[in-house]
Amino acid sequence: MDSITHIALGACMGEAFAGKQLGKKAMIWGALAQSVPDIDFVASFWMDTPSDLLAHRGFTHSFLFCALITPLFALTADRLHRPHNMRFRQWLLYFGALIFIHVFIDAFNNYGVGWFEPFSHARISFNAIYVADPLFSIWPVIASILLLYHNRWNPRRANWWRFGLGFSSIYLMYCLANKAKIDHEVKQAFVKQEIPVDRYFSTPAPLQNWVWFVVAGNDSGYHVGFRSVFDKKKDIDFEYFPRNSNLLKPVEGSEDLQKLIRFSQQFYTVEQWGDTLVFNDLRFGQIIGWHKRKNSFVFHYYLNKPEGNELIVQRGRFTGWNKHTALSLLRRIKGF
């Protein structure tokens, strides 16, 4: 999830666990502990882009990292807040839960997290919620603001952290229900439309959970389309994108290419844009694809021009967005 969401969730969790003992300091500890796995951003200062892509949400989002960093937080807080009436195991539970929830929630996005690093490089991704979904984040944000406003002894504080955590949890369950519905309908469409599928995923289009981006195919190429939870028709209008693996021959020995293939989990295509060889990671969606079916993909890496690959995951995410395309997304949500 985005940083604001983690901070707000951490503040609410901090209040829930230790608000009575620490007052508003519990919210600060909560926000800090919830944010610490994202310390991996510092790797971008010295790593090349493909290595940084693999490092992000890697070891610092692993269970081992949780186990190592939790006692450090617990020892620090235990010393800073003496005298207090909290046992050390309570500190461990407090910080362990905060840090674990971060790496757990991040797995519901499409980027994937390395829960089992460094023992396994497998990335866990449930593809159930967009990385920045206002309807997931708004509740803990509101709750955090009101918790800061009310004094330590206000009896309403408990209601607000329950509000923030409760509504986010309910919305996450709603997203999982949408995911199950979409996957069921899409798999039926594959059979009906006789689409060969070796690998498949679905993930929400930006900023909401009703229109889903769907990719299915094999080593030859991928069928790409969009499906709304409110669609009535059974068929899906897919656009086919060939993988074009033959274009990779000039760079097939490149270490960067091997890292990109590993990062993409095999969901990639290759294109030639003039004199530029482009690697597309399909997992991050298509630029306003519900509006223009043949548009480029959000994640496109210039294989023979690596100097132009900063902010690779963000590039193109909101290119072409305006009032017209936003309204087209609303229409697509309605099933039109």
User: Would you say 247 and 277 are in contact if contact means Cβ atoms under 8 Å apart?
Assistant: yes
pLDDT band at 336 (very low <50, low <70, confident <90, very high): confident
Confidence (pLDDT) at 94: 95
Is 170 a residue whose pLDDT tops 70? yes
Place of tokens 């023979």: 304
Weakest-pLDDT range from 130-144, 196-210, 278-292, 307-321: 307-321
Confidence (pLDDT) at 201: 95
185-203: burial string, b at 16+ Cβ within 10 Å, e else:
bbeebbeeeebeeeebbbb
User: Would you say 9 and 168 are in contact if contact means Cβ atoms under 8 Å apart?
Assistant: yes
Q: What average pLDDT does range 277-295 have in this prediction? A: 92
Q: Which of 281, 185, 187, 296 is nearest to 239 (CA)?
A: 296
How buried is residue 228: exposed, middle or buried, by Cβ count under 10 Å (0-12/13-18/19+)? buried
Confidence (pLDDT) at 312: 65
Place of tokens 């909401």: 208
Q: Please state, rounded to an integer, the average pLDDT across all residues of the chain.
A: 93
Confidence (pLDDT) at 155: 85
Place of tokens 């097939």: 252
Is 222 a residue whose pLDDT tops 70? yes
Is 36 a residue whose pLDDT tops 90? yes
Write out the H or E segment, with its range, that includes residue 16: helix 3-22
Confidence (pLDDT) at 314: 64
Could you give the CA distance from residue 155 to residue 49 in angstroms, rounded to a whole number?
49
Is 306 a residue whose pLDDT tops 80? no
What would the pLDDT profile of 310-331 be if each residue is shown by its tens digit? 766 666 778 888 999 999 999 9
Which segment, 11-20, 39-48, 150-159, is predicted with the most confidence on average?
11-20
Is 153 a residue whose pLDDT tops 90? no
Could you give the CA distance from residue 226 to residue 224 in angstroms, rounded to a whole number?
7
What would the pLDDT profile of 249-279 be if each residue is shown by its tens digit? 999 888 999 999 999 999 999 999 999 999 9
Could you give the CA distance from residue 54 to residue 235 in angstroms, rounded to a whole number?
36
Residue type, 133: D
